Chains A and B, each alone.
Chain A
Amino acid sequence: MTTLEWLISGLLCVGALFVLLGSVALLKLPDFYTRLHGPTKATTLGLGSLVLASMVFFNLQLETLSLQQLLIALFLFISAPVTAHMLIKVAMHHKLKHHHTTQGVDKLPAD
């Protein structure tokens, strides 16, 4: 394995780890408000790492011009916060139960 491949493998492993972490968080955390953190933060970060790996692979390893991944990352990084925002609005509108250790809805203004 070349250095470049090591680099790519490292990025991939980091990415996969965060993606998995996000999904585990989604499954394990106690209430919706905490669960939301996993996919929107960890998974998005992991995806960034995977995109980086893919760009290194195509542009440096195969030496072909490949920019679609950048577009994917751009799109995802812009849209993920909006998705999270909309989801949290739904959760608050539906007054979902929250774990006693998290902040209550009563401290936030109504939507």
Chain B
Amino acid sequence: MALLLPWILSIPLFSIVILLLFRQLSRNQQTLIALLAPIAGLLLLAPMIPDLLQGAVFQQQWQWLPVLGLQWTFRLDALALLFSFLIFGIGLLVIFYARYYLSASDPMPRFYASLLLFMLAMLGIVLSGNVLQLWMFWELTSISSFLLISYWSHRSDARKGARLALTVTAAGGLALLVGLILLGQVAGSYQLDVILSKGPQIIADAQYPLILVLILLGAFTKSAQFPFHFWLPNAMAAPTPVSAYLHSATMVKAGIFLLIRLYPAIAGTDLWFSLVSLAGLLTLLTGAYFALFQHDIKGLLAYSTISHLGLITLLLGLDTDLATVAAIFHIINHAVFKASLFMAAGIIDHETGSRDMRKINGLWHFMPVTASLAMVAAASMAGVPLLNGFLSKEMFFSQTLHQSVLGALSWLLPLLATLAAVFSVAYSARFIHDVFFNGKPIGLDKIPHEPPRYMRVPMEVLVALCIGVGVFPQWLVGDILLAASTAALQQTPPAYSLALWHGLNLPLLMSVVAFVAGIVLYINRKELFLFQAGFQSTLAIHRFEGQVQRLVQRCRQFSQWAEPGRLQWYIAAMLWATVLLAGYPLLQLNSLQGERGLLPTDWFSAVLVVIMVLAAMATVIWQRQRLLALIMISVVGLMLSLLFIRFSAPDLALTQLAVEVATAVLLMLALYFLPHRSPKQSAHATLLRDLILAGSCAIVVGSLAYLMLTHQADSVSSYFLANAKSGGGGTNVVNVILVDFRGFDTFGEITVLGIAALGIYKLLTGIPRFKPSADADGRSWALDAHPLLLRVVSQGLLPLALLVSVYLFFRGHNLPGGGFVAGLVTAVALIMQYIAHGVDWVKPRLNLQFSALVASGILIAWLTGAFSWLFGKPFLTSWFDYFDIPLLGQIELASAIAFDLGVYLTVVGSTLLILANLGKLTTRHKPEHRGQI
């Protein structure tokens, strides 16, 4: 049955895909598809329930990154079952409710897809058996809740609220990640089973306080505990179904779930009790206090939620036997009544167009059924007997009476708990009285009436549960509560009884006091409101936005400082960094001369070097006449390739030549747009600065080269030389390194090349085209665009050039050549056709999609690599063999050839994509085709 677990997670995913693919479906069909996920999930869970209630644990796991201790582990026990019920059950009702809540103009697929993504993330948290995997889903809930809060993205408050929520919860998530990693290291494993069984060892560890604080940071930010509670009220900009789901039943409970989940591992110390109970107590009181002053119904509910979350946290921080049981019980009860209250708020908002309690009054006359339902739920929130909220609150009161977390001051806790309950009764009373009674509505846009029949159904179900659990607690939730508590504590909790009536005792008295005092407080609320109005309040959201604006401002200042947009500046920075990084180690050496002797002078090469140096100097001297500089630098390239050949590097020479020409063409295409002579640089200081920089570079790089050449380094090349033939099946070591030994690098490189080509193409589309009417000397252009002789001959040379490139490609594995050079030669041969005939002639004859060429090249290379997976080998394992073929004799087939084909196609596609489109910028009379991608 454990095999079913991944399915529970993948069903929401399936629904998401369907929803996003078929956006044309009717609203009802979309709702049905969305409903499929929770319904199927509940059905899948059903057969496992009996075993789980007996304490069974289902677990299923796959290897993911075993080196990091990361495994896909799905673990279902009774605690996870309880939360899964909440996630699916409330989710089911919320999806149904949202069908009627969202207006026709709201995009349903996006809403449902985000909601289901959130559902998936939440399930991921509760079903994770590995803490790193849990963290991943934890962050996914932050992201999906961001999407949900900002669903009405045209509203500024929604965007800001979403950003605030994401910042707070994701920052907490980072703390949590560190905490979980430390926890895993201390426990020796990231598997939940192991961590839960190592509780004493973890607590005894010196890092325990750090681990605890970090994990609590994560949990408290998520569960809106003081002082991180401020994001929750601002998240109320979300559509109300989202609030009902995320901010009452699920996401805010994730932090609490984590505390309960890790309870056996990290709880039970004094540090835990003081931190958790203090945070819970403060949250309980602040939430309850501020809830009373909210005029927005959802604001009231949000602060009330904060308060109830504080109550649960406080329970977890109490050192009594039954506190955890009470906490879990209250999680269920709170989810049920708060979700129904949010739904009521949504209905009121929907039917009146406002959520302001100063305007909405006397709704009893307009929507009696909704009013009755909401009043029952609010009464449950206040802790009125016969309702579920009463039971868990009683348990809470009795736990506060038996604890000793505050030492000698422990007697304070029951008092403060009662105080919080007083406020809770008061704001519940306000919710009932201010909305449904208290005169008539003021200044509403429309006359309220009952919502559509089915919009009330989810509320009815939840309110029925409030009453059901309130009256028959043992019968309805007794089993699951016991099983979940057992699973949470990893041991059977002490005996307790879930019943309505425990006799006349102190907790009952506290309830009565809270009730009476709460009503009195509400009646005299005017004084309190006046008192509260005396405080200057700055809203958290404004402070946060201010910080964000300041941060953005700083970043902008920094990037303006670091990126002034001057190419010279960047190059100078890069060169200085090189000089410093490479120059400093040189200072540590005694001598440049290594153990290798110098070779005898080869006068021929020396002359070539002199020619190269002369050309290089000429390039610098004529740098402002750009075409001359280009011609001079071509000489440098030519001499360099001759020297490569002289020193036995024919592969390098071929590549150098091919790149040289492609670059020259590229530069000429770019030069066309630039002034032919660059302006003279005036400042002598700049000249001196550049001279110093160039000189330092020359000194450092020259010394480095001398150092390298005179030292006998034991490099990796001897391995490549020895293994090229036996391991890679080729005698050209350079090519074998490229396509085999370092094939993964090459794969990354061609991917980068393809992306760069696409990026350049995209950048080029925006450039305005203009054609200078004359050249640098004011001569008008020649009239003959495509000389006949050039056209005829270049067309005739094309097959010859392609033949050469095919030849270079196939011999590349054993002799100089290969996919890269062959690709460049092909590209240059095709560019020659562009030069000779122009774009308009080539386009119909060369019907190639260059971007498709790039994509297919990368795909072929990837498939070659992935092919080895079929044989259970790692990515890009090469293969070669020799075959005897009649007539042709023995030939070799190597997977590297296919990989090289990928390289070839990518190079051809990228080069043409860049050059042809750069050339096309100035194509006249052709505004209709923007480029041949």
User: Which residues of A line the B interface, CB within 8 A?
Assistant: 71, 74-75, 78-79, 81-82, 85-86, 89, 93-94, 111
The answer to whether the Cβ of B779 comes within 8 Å of any Cβ in the partner chain is yes
User: Given the complex of chains A and B, what is the CA–CA distance between A71 and B796 in angstroms?
Assistant: 14
Count B-side interface residues using an 8 Å CB cutoff: 13
Give Cα distance in the complex from A94 to B783, angstroms: 13
Distance of A77 Cα from B814 Cα, bound (Å) = 30
**In the bound complex, CA of A94 to CA of B627 (Å):** 15
Contact of A79 among B784, B787, B793, B804 (CB under 8 A): B793
B705 within 8 A of A: no
Q: Output the nearest chain B residue to A93 by Cβ-Cβ distance.
A: B782
**Chain A: which residue is nearest B780 at the CB level?**
A93
Residue of B nearest to A74 (CB): B800
Q: Is the CB of B783 within 8 A of A78?
A: no
Residues of B within 8 A of A86 (CB): 787, 790
Contacts of B783 on A, CB cut-off 8 Å? 111
Complexed CA–CA distance, A47 and B804 (Å): 20
A90 nearest in chain B by CB position: B782
CB distance from B299 to the nearest CB of A (A): 79
Give Cα distance in the complex from A33 to B784, angstroms.
20
What residues on B are CB-neighbors of A85 within 8 Å?
A: 787, 789-790
In the complex, what's the smallest C-beta–C-beta distance from A50 to chain B, in angstroms?
A: 16
B779 touches A82 (CB 8 A): no
Q: Are A75 and B800 in contact (CB under 8 A)?
A: yes
Mark B residues whose CB is within 8 Å of A: 779, 782-784, 787, 789-790, 793-794, 796-797, 800, 804
Q: Provide the bound-state CA to CA distance between A71 and B807, in Å.
A: 12
Query: Can you sample 16 A-B contacts with CB below 8 Å?
Result: A75-B797, A75-B800, A78-B797, A79-B797, A81-B789, A82-B790, A82-B793, A82-B794, A85-B787, A86-B787, A86-B790, A89-B782, A93-B782, A111-B782, A111-B783, A111-B784
For A94, list chain B residues within 8 Å (CB): 779
Q: Across the interface, which residues of A come within 8 angstroms of B794, CB to CB?
A: 82
Pairwise interchain contact B787-A89, C-beta atoms closer than 8 A: yes
Q: Would you call A93 and B787 a contact (CB within 8 A)?
A: no
A71 near B790: Cβ-Cβ < 8 Å:
no
In the complex with contacts A82-B790, A111-B784, A71-B797 CB distance below 8 A: no
How far does the alpha carbon of A102 sit from the alpha carbon of B831 in the complex, in Å?
37
Complex CA–CA separation, A64 to B34 (angstroms): 75
For the complex, give the distance between the alpha carbons of A82 and B788 in Å: 10
Q: How far is the CA of A93 from the CA of B784 in the complex (A)?
A: 11
Residue in A closest to B803 when the chains form the complex, CB atoms: A71
Give 10 closest A-B pairs by Cβ, nearest first: A82-B793, A93-B782, A85-B789, A111-B784, A111-B782, A82-B789, A82-B790, A78-B793, A78-B797, A86-B790
Question: What 14 new A-B contacts, CB under 8 Å, besides A82-B793, A85-B789, A93-B782?
Answer: A74-B800, A75-B800, A78-B797, A79-B793, A79-B797, A81-B789, A81-B793, A82-B794, A85-B787, A86-B790, A89-B784, A93-B779, A94-B779, A111-B784
Instruction: Tell me, rounded to whole Å, the shortest Cβ–Cβ distance linking B788 to chain A.
Output: 10
Q: How far is the CA of A79 from the CA of B783 in the complex (A)?
A: 23
**Known contacts A71-B804, A89-B782, A111-B782: A78-B787 contact under CB 8 Å:** no
Contacts of B796 in A (CB 8 A): 78
B548 CB to nearest A CB, Å: 60
A15 to B782 Cα, complex, angstroms: 37
Task: Output the nearest chain A residue to B836 by Cβ-Cβ distance.
Answer: A82
Q: Which residues of B contact A81 (CB under 8 A)?
A: 789, 793
Q: A75–B782 Cα gap in the complex (Å)?
A: 27
**For the complex, what is the distance from the CA of A36 to the CA of B67, rounded to whole Å?**
69
Q: How far is the CA of A18 from the CA of B784 in the complex (A)?
A: 34
